[in-house]
Amino acid sequence: MQIELQEIRDHLHRFPPFDALPLETLDGIAQRVEVSYFKAGSDILEAGAVIRDLHYVRSGAVEIYRRNGELYNRLVEGDIFGQAGLLRSNKVRFPAKALEDSLIYFIPAEVFAELCAQHDAFAEFVEAEGHSRLKSAVEAQGRASELIQLKCRVLVSRSLVWVTSDTSVHEAAKVMTEQSVSCVVVMDPEPRPAHRMVGIVTDRDLRTRVVAAGRSDSATTIGQIMSVDPVAIEADDSLFEAMLVMLRRNIHHLPVMYKGRTVGLINLSDIIRYESQSSLYLVNRISNQTSVEGLRALLRDLRGTYIRMVREGATAHMIGSAISGIGRAFTQRLLELAEKKLGPPPVPYCFMALGSMARDEQLLLTDQDNALVLDDAFDPTLHDDYFRSLATFVSDGLAACGYSYCKGGIMATNDQWRQPLRVWRGYFNDWIEKPNAATLLNSCIFFDLDGVYGQLELVQELKTLCARKSSANPGFLNAMARIALNRTPPLGFFRTFVVETDGRQKRIINLKGRGTAPLTDLIRIHALACASTAQNSFDRLDAISNTKLMQPEALKHLRYALEFLSMVRIRHQADALEQGMSPDNYIEPERFSTSERHNLKEAFQVLSNAQNFLRFRYPAKARQLP
Amino acid sequence: MKGAGTERMAGKSEWAARFEALAKEARHPALQKFYRAGVIAAQTPIEQVQLLAMDVETTGLDAQAHSIVSIGLIPFTLQRIRCGQALYWVVKPQSELNEKSVTFHHITHTDIRNAPALTEVVEALLDAMAGRVMVVHYRNIERGFLDRAFHRHLGEGLQFPVIDTMQLEARMHRQKRSWLDRLLRRPQLSIRLADSRARYNLPPYHAHHALTDALATAELLQAQIASHYLPSTPIAALWD
């Protein structure tokens, strides 16, 4: 009697190392496989337990942990785990947990041993997987750079599903069901010259805006409940760009445009396949939490994501964007929870991030810097109780989640930083027109600004004001330059390191204070001089390069120095985390190799040269530029 | 949804007694042996029960007019589905294969030309079933067709306890209708095997191969218990 478990055999056949095995061998494996279903969140392997099978992910997603509890890897369909334990001690080395509902195939140890003995390629595959961090690092580097290299167009696989805005919600829901899509693009009914995208509707919108709102009568059209003017992405933008947009806005669907036409939709899960660091997953989980405690519990995952990104060769720009995106998600969710508790806001508002989060350069060790920009209809006697409570809820929540209170008091809980737009306009005008020592310190923080939640236009207006007005006020830029020159790179006259001594008599360099921070300061000034509204330092360098302000060669060096110093700092913090210590910004140059020290000096020299240029370009006494 | 609805247990606990009686009534030795193997106690927690996923493919839907063409069996527990002990037979049907059913299960005239008659596999089938609780998706098919076939070939029917994953799914979803159903004024949520599996994020399989469907049903039961019941739920709350 021939028993054929075709489903199992055909699935194995699609994934390495099984794809290289003959079909009859696969039939043999399929006939001895055991299967089990694991609900999301349940344990699959517990540390130290006896392991008797190779595990194969048939569907779902599995997280593998180190014994210290840090996340080590995330596996999906076709991946195997447990081989490290089988090859050595027959004890579980890395505990495993179902991240999603998962179906696992168990391949018995005897079968595993036979396969290793009879198929060299199989043996090599499973052995390499067990011990080589290098290999996984190299592979991962491939993955990380794939995100930058691949264009959004590669993900547009099916033809666009769309409806016109005069379609009834019933009809639209039917189309979505028939086409099995969770999102449709909404077009203007006017077909000439071509249908134009006017909105987007998701499953969730139908649930919250139609059914829950009691609007499921046949008169309701999709145009009445859609999200208007959705954020879209260009077909030739990279997947990384798409990921950034999703992270920043916490949206799951992005229309893809080509030559002004909507050609497709990409969604969160499309990107997640390429994004092994799972920052998007984390953002998704953050937005599902219903309490501060729930959010706080995700801190460990945040660290895991951070470490994985570093180990998988992501760039400083990618890591900064991802960690900032996660910070935004925490903030957004806290605001949603606050609104749930306090009721809807009495007037529109925008929650504003300042400093590193606004620049998309946040790392793990960070304070919260934030403020509230309120609509001009704000009346303090009527409305301020609400916004004070809102700010307190968010600020306390952020502190609970590891974003410590700002020592300088730059938080929306501070009355001064919880004001209507016209007051903010007054602040910025004053700071730029009449800079003094105190307001210049504010400018360094408030001139990296970005809306996180609410009426984003309020903050957009301030951004534009900053850029326009600063570029027209050389006196202000000169004053800002003085501040930026206060912190110098740690280089002596003969290119030796100038080190400080910490409490334990270690010879250290403050990488942030004497490296990345003065760099971002001077980049900010040049960007303001160009009237750029960009916030991220790399984006600002792009904006500067579009003008004749600096030599292309000098910009290239700045970019390199920023990337290098940021990565040294990021790696230093990841190492600390992995060793169970709290991350800081202090490195000991003596512990670096000669070539690393050389690179470090090179990068600090770039900063030094750039500061000299800044001194010349924005002199202490304002001079008339030709 | 966790735990057992005790009201459902009333009247379902007499399978052990029924098997004792059937063992006395049965005339065919294979049936006597099957009933004598008995049934586990109604209070046994589901996590300790030896289960057998079963699917039969037939020439049509009417147990009186149509007959069985294939049978797939996979023994399992809540912890593991044991593909290594799977059994599968193509059997020679009494009634003619019609074109419509051929397109469903892809078993053709050539396949059944040399297939054994059901009588030839009865002993192996009953051996596999003995002492286990059967798990099927839509019990009327497996129960109805096996009972009818046993009557036809052995002159006496076949009875056995069954967990019906479709029935469990109906308990879960037929009372509360989702927003989309109300929106579309759709009658009911589908509790067909593939649709039920999708609700637990189980992968889609090619349907209508008796062994694949048996595997699909076993996985579905594991998912249903993991999602809606405690592992300590007594079998009496689940079987029928």
**Angle subtended at Cα A354 by Cα A348 and Cα A355, rounded to the nearest 5 degrees:** 170
A447 within 8 A of A466, measured Cβ to Cβ: yes
> Half-sphere exposure of A542 toward its Cβ, with a 13 Å CA cutoff?
7
A39 Cβ under 8 Å from any chain B Cβ: yes
Please indicate, yes or no, if residue A168 is contained in any of the structural domains.
Answer: no
A32 Cβ under 8 Å from any chain B Cβ: yes
pLDDT for residue A384 = 95
Cα A60 to Cα A57: distance, rounded to the nearest angstrom: 7
* Interface residue of A1, A2, A4, A5 to substitute, partner B, most B CBs within 10 Å: A5
Cβ within 8 Å, pair A35-B209: no
Please indicate, yes or no, if residue A279 is contained in any of the structural domains.
Answer: no
A33 Cβ under 8 Å from any chain B Cβ: yes
Residue numbers of the domain that contains A354: 345-454
A-chain residues within 8 Å CB-CB of B70?
none
CA distance B25 to chain A (A): 33
Q: Which of A35, A60, A173 shows the shortest C-beta gap to B183?
A: A173
Domain ends where: A401, A423, A454? A454
Query: What pTM did the predictor assign?
Result: 0.52
A-chain residues within 8 Å CB-CB of B82?
34
Task: Tally the domains of chain A.
Answer: 3
For range B7-30, the mean pLDDT = 77
Please indicate, yes or no, if residue A212 is contained in any of the structural domains.
Answer: no
CA closest to B89 among chain A residues: A1
B-chain residues within 8 Å CB-CB of A206?
179-180, 183
Pairing mode, if any, of strands A96-98 and A43-45?
antiparallel
- Tell me: do A396 and A523 sit in the same domain: no
Token code pair at residue B156: 């006496």
Q: Which of B87, B183, B211 shows the shortest C-beta gap to A211?
A: B183
Q: What is the pLDDT of residues A184-214, one digit of tens each?
A: 999 998 877 778 899 999 988 888 888 888 8
A45 within 8 A of A82, measured Cβ to Cβ: yes
DSSP H or E segment with residue A454 = strand A449-454
Q: How many residues does chain A have?
A: 626
Q: A584 versus B98: which is more confidently predicted?
A: A584
pLDDT for residue A413 = 96
Question: A269-283, A341-355, A419-433, A589-603: lowest mean pLDDT where?
Answer: A269-283
- Tell me: do A436 and A490 sit in the same domain: no
Domains in chain B: ranges and CATH? 6-237 (3.30.420.10)
pLDDT for residue B11 = 46
CA closest to A203 among chain B residues: B180
At B3, the pLDDT band (50, 70, 90 cuts) reads very low
At A241, the pLDDT band (50, 70, 90 cuts) reads confident
Measuring CA to CA, how many Å separate A246 from each of A100, A179, A243? Answer: 21, 24, 5
**Angle subtended at Cα A368 by Cα A276 and Cα A506, rounded to the nearest 5 degrees:** 80
Q: Where are the alpha helices (DSSP H) in A401-455?
A: 421-433, 437-446
At B106, the pLDDT band (50, 70, 90 cuts) reads low
Cα A551 to Cα A547: distance, rounded to the nearest angstrom: 10
A30 Cβ under 8 Å from any chain B Cβ: yes
Residue B2 scores a pLDDT above 60: no
B-chain residues within 8 Å CB-CB of A3?
86-88, 211
Residues 6 or more apart whose Cβ sits within 8 Å of residue A601: A491, A495, A497
Q: Which of A103, A177, A210 shows the shortest C-beta gap to B202?
A: A103
pLDDT for residue A135 = 35
At B186, the pLDDT band (50, 70, 90 cuts) reads low
- Tell me: do A482 and A417 sit in the same domain: no
Dihedrals φ, ψ of A512, to 5°?
A: -80, -55
Please indicate, yes or no, if residue A291 is contained in any of the structural domains.
Answer: no
pLDDT for residue A159 = 75
Cβ within 8 Å, pair B83-A8: yes
- Tell me: do A24 and A109 sit in the same domain: yes
B-chain residues within 8 Å CB-CB of A39?
223, 226-227
At B105, the pLDDT band (50, 70, 90 cuts) reads low
- DSSP assignment of A38-96, as one string? E-TT-EEE-TT-B--EEEEEEESEEEEE-TTS-EEEEEETT-EE-HHHHHTTSB-SS-E
Q: What is the pLDDT of residues A394-403, one digit of tens each?
A: 999 999 998 9
Please indicate, yes or no, if residue A174 is contained in any of the structural domains.
Answer: no
Report the 10 Å Cβ neighbour count for B19.
Answer: 20
Q: What is the pLDDT of residues A356-367, one digit of tens each?
A: 999 999 988 788
A404 Cβ under 8 Å from any chain B Cβ: no
- Tell me: do A551 and A613 sit in the same domain: yes
Residue B200 scores a pLDDT above 60: yes
At A22, the pLDDT band (50, 70, 90 cuts) reads confident
Q: Which of A5, A30, A37 shows the shortest C-beta gap to B222?
A: A37
> Half-sphere exposure of B40 toward its Cβ, with a 13 Å CA cutoff?
20
* Interface residue of B81, B82, B165, B200 to substitute, partner A, most A CBs within 10 Å: B81
pLDDT for residue A122 = 87
Q: Which of A7, A32, A173 shows the shortest C-beta gap to B205?
A: A7
Residue B9 scores a pLDDT above 60: no
Percent of chain A with pLDDT strictly greater than 90? 42
At A248, the pLDDT band (50, 70, 90 cuts) reads confident
pLDDT for residue A74 = 77
- Tell me: do A443 and A487 sit in the same domain: no
Of the candidates A543, A542, A536, A497, the residue with the CA atom closest to the CA atom of residue A520: A536
CA distance A33 to chain B (A): 6
pLDDT for residue A503 = 67
- Tell me: do A609 and A489 sit in the same domain: yes
B-chain residues within 8 Å CB-CB of A100?
201
- Tell me: do A486 and A450 sit in the same domain: no
Please indicate, yes or no, if residue A570 is contained in any of the structural domains.
Answer: yes
One-letter amino acid identity for A65? Answer: Y
- DSSP assignment of A2-15, as one string? ----HHHHHHHTTS
pLDDT for residue B235 = 94
Cα B63 to Cα B142: distance, rounded to the nearest angstrom: 9
Percent of chain A with pLDDT strictly greater than 70? 92
Question: A41-45, A325-329, A497-501, B84-88: lowest mean pLDDT where?
Answer: A497-501
Q: What is the CATH number of the domain that holds A108?
A: 2.60.120.10
Domain ends where: A102, A127, A152? A127
Please indicate, yes or no, if residue A187 is contained in any of the structural domains.
Answer: no
pLDDT for residue B153 = 87
- Tell me: do A445 and A526 sit in the same domain: no
B1 Cβ under 8 Å from any chain A Cβ: no
Domain ends where: A97, A127, A157? A127
Token code pair at residue A526: 């040049």
Residue B124 scores a pLDDT above 90: yes
- Tell me: do A426 and A494 sit in the same domain: no
**Interface ipTM:** 0.86
| Average predicted confidence (pLDDT) for chain A | 86
The secondary structure of residue A170, as a DSSP letter, is: H
CA distance B80 to chain A (A): 5
B-chain residues within 8 Å CB-CB of A210?
183
pLDDT for residue A493 = 62
A206 Cβ under 8 Å from any chain B Cβ: yes
Long-range CB contacts for residues A88-93, cutoff 8 Å, separation at least 24? A88/A130, A90/A50, A90/A51, A90/A52, A91/A48, A91/A49, A91/A50, A91/A51, A92/A45, A92/A46, A92/A47, A92/A48, A92/A49, A92/A50, A92/A51, A93/A47, A93/A67
pLDDT for residue A222 = 93
B163 Cβ under 8 Å from any chain A Cβ: no
Please indicate, yes or no, if residue A153 is contained in any of the structural domains.
Answer: no
Q: Which of B84, B180, B211 shows the shortest C-beta gap to A32?
A: B84
- Tell me: do A445 and A577 sit in the same domain: no
Cβ within 8 Å, pair A106-B80: yes
CA dihedral angle for residue A408, residue A409, residue A412, residue A417, rounded to 10 degrees:
-80
- Tell me: do A424 and A491 sit in the same domain: no
pLDDT for residue B211 = 93
For range A375-387, the mean pLDDT = 95
B211 Cβ under 8 Å from any chain A Cβ: yes
Pairing mode, if any, of strands A61-65 and A34-38?
unpaired
For range B43-55, the mean pLDDT = 95
Max avg pLDDT among A547-561, B58-72, B128-142? B128-142
For range A144-173, the mean pLDDT = 80
Q: Where are the alpha helices (DSSP H) in A107-237?
A: 109-118, 120-131, 133-149, 169-178, 203-205, 222-225
* Interface residue of A12, A35, A105 to substitute, partner B, most B CBs within 10 Å: A35
Q: What is the pLDDT of residues A440-467, one digit of tens each?
A: 988 888 999 999 999 999 999 999 999 9
Q: What is the pLDDT of residues B153-182, one digit of tens each?
A: 889 999 999 999 999 998 887 666 666 666
B-chain residues within 8 Å CB-CB of A8?
83, 215
Chain A / chain B CB contacts < 8 angstroms:
92
Q: What is the Rg, in whole angstroms, of the alpha carbon atoms belonging to chain B? A: 18
Q: What is the CATH number of the domain that holds A574?
A: 1.20.120
Question: A85-99, A165-179, A342-356, B91-105: lowest mean pLDDT where?
Answer: B91-105
pLDDT for residue A2 = 53
